[in-house]
Structure 1
Amino acid sequence: MKKLLNYKLMLVLIGLTFFVSCQHETEEALEDAATNIERVDVKWLAPDDHPVVQLLYSRGYKKGTIYETEEYFLAPPDLFYSKDIKDYDLTDTGADPKQAYNTGALVSLDRMRINVFLDASIGTDLQTQSVNAMNELNGINNCALFFVRVFNANQAQITIRSDFGVEGTNVLGRAGFPSNGRPFNLVTLNVDRIDDFGADIRRNVIIHELGHCVGLRHTNWQANGESGAVNIPGTSAFDSGSIMWSTANGGTPFTNGDLTAFRALFPRALRRDVVNVIDEYDYSGEIYVVDEVFVDVFTDGSYTTSATLNRNVQVNYKKRVQEYNHTSGTYTYYRNRLLSAGSSRYYLDEEEEQCSPYQGETCTYEDVDITYAFSIL
């Protein structure tokens, strides 16, 4: 999403606010990236008849304000949107991660460790400010988000790179919203413009864009012509000092409302744990295995300190049943479980494996996958 520029520059969190943060320093030291990438991007006005553009118009954007590049649609003030209309459909009946493209889409609580790759195209100063931004976010206590710099692009959930000349002077950065419980995978920075501002503004712009990647909205979304958003109790739509305001500001990045939002949306990190409870084999070829699936609670995505769940959390998951040999087929069941605050470990479901030499040597496997886990405000 784009970051608009204002000489007061204030970044704020969505009036309905969504945030990212955490309480640990980035784990790897700053290093220069390998080689500079030469690339030039261009944008053009998006066609009104494209189904995604029509959807964006129906969500409140004005006609003539949507542009596109080879990869994405660009919406004011600083948002990326997928060009594939299928990305906006709710296909999983038991999970919400694809819910409205700009309302309520968050990173799942079992994906709180987020690897970030800093492309050489942003230069060493913006690499430094990106690390500072991650440290600020990791420094928010009682927040599960945990950003880690990685030096291999293939390991990253988010890449921060140059916009390669596509943005005008009024846009400092751009990012998008999560989908399928995963963070948006790209932040672009207007390297030709952002260097005109102080170090704290450069850092805050990056924090703002990372906030979008995990699901935070603009506080002043209505004035920007964006569609509705979900309010977080204890936050205000008029918090003009928030990190998610659509214009940037220097100084201390977070208001009290920002901290409230981060802690409410990302209270704890969850991690799946599988425990074997039955393991039976015999010489005839019979196999029967039962595993119990649990989720353990941690303070954040570093997964180093266990904790008690401090808010109710809903876990949506799917159970896939696969049958092989003469009855081969796959079936999926969508389920959910409410984890009530107060414990550090929760039973989710069981997985099963059966193979028999009888009845055509049929084998059945069951797998449990978490699709989305979110705080109940």
Structure 2
Amino acid sequence: MKKQNSIIFNRIFFSIILFTILFASCKREAEVYTPQSEEKAIKLAVLKNGFDTTGMKDLGKYMLVEGDILLTKISLLSTTPRQAYQNNNSLVDRTKQKNITIRIDDSVPTDGGRLDWRNEVSQAITEYNNLYTNLELSLVTTPTADITIRLGTEDPTFNLNMGTGTIAAAGLPSNGNPFHSIVINSNYVNIPSSSTKKYNLVHEIGHCIGFRHTNWQVRSESPALGIGNSPNTGSNPDASSVFNGGTALNSWSGFSIWDRDAITILYPKFRAKITNYPAQPTSGIPYTFGIDANIPITSYHWENGGGYVIGSRENPTATIYCGNPATFVIYCTVINIYGEKIDIYHSPF
């Protein structure tokens, strides 16, 4: 896996809003920074990446901007400006979507207290798996996983100090992989209920698979792109979205209608159906059938009962004579551009 861009988002996100971070690799001349020049360079990099520097805080290895977004200083000083536009790098690769693994680090306690989020992790995973999408998340106990959930103060890699106002943090996908970590802030000032923990985990998992805050405009965050037919006008296009920022105290009440719509658009399950089946087929008459699919198909194989196929069975369409009696079942096995195979059929019965 290539190096993550290390932009870590806080309790944030939606509409359903997707965004991509493009980093151009380049060789920099060796530079000697004084504390003042480094501070100036970081501030300039934050501005070039499209973030607001008002209230920006220095957290050691990280800069906290816009209240809940963590940027690594290393990435700020060695990357080109962020662009808010849609491309495949802002999503989890299709081949990875059905096997996204999540593990809980040992730093998360099991005592049932305010820092024990273990039950809510399973609940959040179930909420995503209950959606009709191509995403399949699983909780594993292996030493490594696509996403690791850990306490912020005990994270050996980041050693984050998020203060007391941030409940959790995550980031966006990179190189087709989900963002690798969700950090629970053990210094968070409030004591979250189980429902609030679940809400925030669903929110942070959303970041890990590519969503921004739905209400980015009212929060004066950098621009993001809308998804499909989701409402993206106004400062707060979907007040019920779980991906809204500044909602750390919210309780879980389900995905909004537009949340569901956006997730389905970005991560569609492969669907296909046979078209042109007559309402009342006539014996001895040839009928030509096709396939309507939501993902391009590369391979077809037609079969039928009660009639016979004229010509090749491997074409996008098949012409079939209706047998006697004038009913027949049509089968087609299709494979899409991702190598996913499904068997479909149409029957008059």
Higher relative contact order (CA 8 A, sep 6+): 1
Where in structure 2 are the equivalents of 1:224-239 lying within 5 Å?
Answer: 224-237=219-232, 238-239=237-238
Aligned counterpart, 1:133 = 124
Query: Does 2:268 match 1:267?
Result: yes
Decide whether the 8 Å contact of 2:16 with 2:211 is kept in 1: no
For residues 212-257 of structure 1, the C-alpha deviation after alignment (integer angstroms, 9 at most, x for no partner) is 0111010111232322211112212410110100113213230000
Query: Does 2:242 match 1:243?
Result: yes
Where in structure 2 are the equivalents of 1:343-354 lying within 5 Å?
Answer: 344-346=334-336
Query: Does 2:106 match 1:120?
Result: yes
Decide whether the 8 Å contact of 1:46 with 1:68 is kept in 2: no
Structure 2 distance, partners of 1:313, 1:75, is 41
CA spacing shift, 1:145–1:202, aligned 2, 3 Å: same
Aligned counterpart, 2:182 = 187
- What is the Cα-based RMSD across aligned positions, in Å? 3.7
Where in structure 2 are the equivalents of 1:64-213 lying within 5 Å?
Answer: 64-67=54-57, 69=59, 72-82=62-72, 83-84=74-75, 88=79, 100=83, 105-112=90-97, 113-124=99-110, 125-141=116-132, 143-154=133-144, 156-164=145-153, 166-193=161-188, 196-213=191-208
After TM superposition, the runs of 4+ consecutive aligned structure 1 residues lying more than 6 A away are none
For residues 323-364 of structure 1, the C-alpha deviation after alignment (integer angstroms, 9 at most, x for no partner) is xxxxxxxxxxxxxxxxxxx98414689xxxxxxxxxxxxxxx
CA spacing shift, 1:251–1:63, aligned 2, 3 Å: closer
For residues 127-177 of structure 1, the C-alpha deviation after alignment (integer angstroms, 9 at most, x for no partner) is 111111111111112x111111121233x1111111117222321111111
CA spacing shift, 1:233–1:101, aligned 2, 3 Å: closer
For residues 294-336 of structure 1, the C-alpha deviation after alignment (integer angstroms, 9 at most, x for no partner) is xxx99xxxxxxxxx9953469xxxxxxxxxxxxxxxxxxxxxx
In the superposition, the TM-score normalised over structure 2's length comes to: 0.59
Query: Does 2:11 match 1:3?
Result: yes
Decide whether the 8 Å contact of 2:54 with 2:66 is kept in 1: no
Displacement of 1:75 after TM fit? 3.1
Aligned counterpart, 1:255 = 256
Q: Give the letter aligned to residue 243 of structure 2.
A: M
Q: Give the letter aligned to residue 135 of structure 1.
A: T
Structure 1 distance, partners of 2:119, 2:69, is 24
For residues 98-121 of structure 1, the C-alpha deviation after alignment (integer angstroms, 9 at most, x for no partner) is x84786511111111111111122
Structure 2 distance, partners of 1:122, 1:46, is 39
Decide whether the 8 Å contact of 1:65 with 1:75 is kept in 2: yes
Give secondary structure in 1 for the equivalent of 2:238: coil
Displacement of 1:85 after TM fit? 5.2
Q: Give the letter aligned to residue 126 of structure 2.
A: N
Q: Give the letter aligned to residue 145 of structure 1.
A: L
Give secondary structure in 2 for the equivalent of 1:200: helix
Structure 2 distance, partners of 1:86, 1:110, is 33
In the superposition, the TM-score normalised over structure 1's length comes to: 0.55
Give secondary structure in 1 for the equivalent of 2:117: helix
Give secondary structure in 1 for the equivalent of 2:226: coil
Larger radius of gyration: 2
Give secondary structure in 1 for the equivalent of 2:17: coil
Aligned counterpart, 1:96 = none
Structure 2 distance, partners of 1:80, 1:313, is 38
Aligned counterpart, 1:218 = 213
Structure 1 distance, partners of 2:37, 2:255, is 35
Identity of aligned residues (%): 24
CA spacing shift, 1:231–1:348, aligned 2, 3 Å: closer
CA spacing shift, 1:60–1:222, aligned 2, 3 Å: farther
Structure 1 distance, partners of 2:168, 2:292, is 35
Give secondary structure in 2 for the equivalent of 1:175: strand
Decide whether the 8 Å contact of 1:163 with 1:190 is kept in 2: yes
Structure 2 distance, partners of 1:227, 1:65, is 15
Give secondary structure in 1 for the equivalent of 2:101: strand
Give secondary structure in 1 for the equivalent of 2:137: strand
Aligned counterpart, 2:31 = none
CA spacing shift, 1:87–1:144, aligned 2, 3 Å: farther
Structure 2, unmatched stretches of 5+, are 1-8, 20-35, 111-115, 154-159, 273-290, 298-331, 340-349
Give secondary structure in 2 for the equivalent of 1:135: helix
Structure 1, unmatched stretches of 5+, are 5-11, 19-44, 91-98, 270-296, 299-307, 315-341, 350-377
Structure 2 distance, partners of 1:309, 1:114, is 28
